[in-house]
Amino acid sequence: MNARRIASVLAWLLLGVIAYSTLSPLDLRPHMGSSVQIERFGAFGLTGLMFAIAYPRHVLAVLAAMLAAAIGLELTQMLAADRHARLIDLAVKMAGAGCGVGAGWLLVSLLPGSSRKSRA
């Protein structure tokens, strides 16, 4: 299995974990032990990184999808009685997604033999 395929599988798994964590009741949400904002930024950053590595020719679509996922998941929290949507949470998620996608694009662009695989 090549690196792009592994990144693709990881990206989709991470997105599933994010969706579960975002929409599940608070007592079922996994905790890493650090600041919740750091967890949000890291989760969206790592997921964006994996998607950018998996789909280097579609980096703008990946960025748009990650931002849409952050918005959609944050808004869906309004449907749960014990969850709440907050603008600061959305901003942190979007910042993490943008940094992750940007880092993935940069990584793929700088790899030897990449020949600009990641047309933006």
* CA distances for 41 relative to 2, 99, 105, 111, angstroms: 27, 9, 18, 25
CB 21 within 8 A of CB 30: yes
The model's pTM? 0.86
User: Residue 110 has what pLDDT?
Assistant: 92
pLDDT tens column, 40-94: 999 999 999 999 999 999 999 999 999 999 999 999 988 877 777 889 999 999 9
